[in-house]
Amino acid sequence: MTAEIAVINKSAVALAADSKVTLSRGGKQKTYDTVDKLFSISKTEPVGAMIYGNAEFMRFPWETILKEYRRRDPRKKFDTVFLWAENLFEFLLGFFPFKEDDEDFAALSIVEAWLQHYWETCARASQGPDQFKANYIAEIKAAISELKKLDDFLTDDEWTAFQKRLAPKLEAALKRGFLSQFGDIIEDLRTFAELTIYGRPIPRQVHPVWS
């Protein structure tokens, strides 16, 4: 759980964040209690960035990325926070020559994280394996309905090329671990996974549809 606060008045903005972060690798999680989440991204301007939700981007720590962003042009200046955000986004697109394997890993990690999130949510609220499975299936179907309403994150051409390359890895991922018991809804899992990548952002909340 991340706690972040922004307080603003007529003369200043104050930012604060906790120091706990959870990293996931292959379905396993490890928590660290002394991680920085708040960074200055300029040597001369009062602008900062806070990390939320994931400590890494494309297997790079956010701390490394943000410090490199500041190092490359420490005296840059923009008139609004929105322009800072646009510039940082442009930096993320080209600061490192990512390989296709990096893109695939990132996409599969996103899918895995959300499937695991729904798993944990349903497990806490279910009594017995039958109820759990029914709840999990209902949650996946509800998420699919939400995702279909969102704007596309990738263009059709980008998705066609990406899907062709990713399909074998995605198929294997959806049949291993805790997902192996959901073979009867493999089509729904595949649809959910593809929409999570193609139609991001994912819904921010899990709304129980089975209570």
Over residues 128-182, the pLDDT tens digits come to 888 988 999 999 999 999 888 887 778 888 888 888 898 899 888 888 887 888 8
Handedness of CA 63, 94, 147, 186 (dihedral sign): negative
Whether the CA torsion 148, 152, 155, 160 is positive or negative: it is negative
- Distance (Å, rounded) from C-alpha 68 to C-alpha 75? 13
* Structure-model confidence comparison of residues 29 and 204, the more confident one: 29
> Residues 11-32: what's their mean pLDDT?
72
Q: Which of 116, 113, 130 is CA-nearest to residue 179?
A: 116
**Tokens standing for residue 29:** 């999680």
Q: Retrieve residue 62's tokens.
A: 């956010």
Cβ neighbours of residue 153 under 8 Å, at least 6 residues apart?
197, 198, 199, 200, 201
Look at the block and give the residue holding tokens 């939700």. Answer: 53
Q: Is this model's pTM higher than 0.75 or not?
A: no
The three-state secondary structure class of 186 is helix
Across 42-51, 74-83, 121-130, 137-146, least confident range: 121-130
- Which alpha helices (DSSP H) does the chain contain, by range? 62-72, 81-94, 100-125, 129-147, 156-173, 186-198
- Give the per-residue pLDDT at 202: 44
Q: How far apart are CA 15 and CA 81, in angstroms?
A: 14
Which residues does 8 contact at the CB level (< 8 Å), separation at least 6? 14
